[in-house]
Amino acid sequence: MRVLEDVPLAPYTTFGIGGPARWFVEAHREDEVLDAVRFACEHSAPLFVLGGGSNLLVSDEGFPGVVLRIALSGIEQNGNIFSVAAGEPWDAFVSRAVAENYSGIECLAGIPGSVGGTPVQNVGAYGQEVADTIRSVRAFDTKSDRFVTLSADECGFGYRESVFNTTARGRYIVTSVEYGLNPGGDPAISYADLKQYFQDANTPPTLQQVSDAVREIRHGKGMLIVDGDPDCKSAGSFFKNPVISLEHFAKIVSLVGGQNVPHYPVGREQVKVPAAWLLDQAGFHKGYVMGRAGISSRHTLALINRNGASAKDIVALRDRIVATVEKKFAIHLEPEPVWVGKPL
């Protein structure tokens, strides 16, 4: 294991923001994961597991411990079961599955990051989420000090959550994920944007066409990482869509003069309201600028690093948005990206 010191983290993140890691190691094999854990223990240092850095906001002061970058590679296929090493790029795996005509993850095309990052927040988009296809997750359990395999049930998947980012946050280091895909299965076109895209098609779209359409739609929204595109220097959607009670929802409807407020039922008693709608209503529109931070010109929910922004700049914009939405709607927006380093 090669241990580097004071490695700037900004280049390892899609935001392009963040100070140095005190120590930085890469694991290409499982035994190197173990070495990194031992190293952190010996130095009584905190350990942070880095995937593709696409869901992170790293402090300007950096991280005072060991950053372990997961670089394990390899895909094993056994029939429709794909066992994928955590360091594989997620989007490349989606492309392979689609090219080989396996359905189940075609709508998750174009999402940046690593395979190991996907179970953490139960990555989802355009009507699919990885919880639909994950069969199990192999990980190093820092509590029991051994490698374990968690079944999909044990992963506790929910909307943008799992045990990995809630009850057992920081406990597991994912080394591979097993997905069960459907050979020759039909593509999913449940999501409104996709239905609209194919509304004039004479024949049902193929898996490849659906996955290409997702990429195109994402590109239109600045949600596909393209070199030189200023709108994708972000961590994707910055806020989770809040879930509120029906009573609270009724108050919001009356507050906006009975307008049609977008919402999705969550069980019988609650609804999910798009955070993007709340931002718009609170005056935070596409292209909003606050110094070096801003909002993407193509997606209200993506906070962006406009030009050399610091984590502090992004946090100042975050706080302005959270406070304004809370004052107007009594809803406290929760950020989606993971904060790394000393909290601001």
Ligand X SMILES: Cc1cc2nc3c(=O)[nH]c(=O)nc-3n(C[C@H](O)[C@H](O)[C@H](O)COP(=O)(O)OP(=O)(O)OC[C@H]3O[C@@H](n4cnc5c(N)ncnc54)[C@H](O)[C@@H]3O)c2cc1C
Exactly one of 32, 106, 129, 336 is catalytic; which is it?
336
The answer to whether 32 is a known catalytic residue is: no
What minimum distance in Å lies between the beta carbon of 252 and ligand X?
25
Q: What is the SS3 string spanning the chain?
A: CCCEEEEECHHHCCCCCCCEEEEEEEECCHHHHHHHHHHHHHCCCCEEEECCCCCEEECCCCEEEEEEEECCCCEEEECCEEEEECCCEHHHHHHHHHHCCEECCHHHCCCCCEHHHCCCCCCEECCEEHHHCEEEEEEEECCCCEEEEEEHHHHCCECCECHHHCCCCCCEEEEEEEEECEECCCCCCCCHHHHHHCCCCCCCCCHHHHHHHHHHHHHHCCCCCCCCCHHHCCCCCCECCCEEEHHHHHHHHHHCCCCCCCCEEECCCEEECCHHHHHHHCCCCCCCEECCEEECCCCCCCEEECCCCCHHHHHHHHHHHHHHHHHHHCCCCCECCEEECCCC
Is residue 94 involved in binding ligand X (CB under 6 A)? no
Q: Which is nearer to ligand X, 262 or 283 (CB)?
A: 262
Footprint of ligand X on 121-160 (CB under 6 A): 121, 123-125
Site string for ligand X, 208-247 (x = CB under 6 A): ---------------x-x------x-xxx-----------
Window of 21-29, 76-84, 166-174, 248-256 that interacts with ligand X by CB under 6 A: 166-174
Site string for ligand X, 262-301 (x = CB under 6 A): ----------------------------------------
Q: Which is nearer to ligand X, 200 or 227 (CB)?
A: 227
What minimum distance in Å lies between the beta carbon of 260 and ligand X?
25
Q: Which is nearer to ligand X, 132 or 329 (CB)?
A: 132
The answer to whether 318 is a known catalytic residue is: no
Exactly one of 59, 103, 234, 237 is catalytic; which is it?
237
What minimum distance in Å lies between the beta carbon of 89 and ligand X?
9
The answer to whether 26 is a known catalytic residue is: no
What minimum distance in Å lies between the beta carbon of 54 and ligand X?
3
Give me the active site residues, please.
160, 237, 336
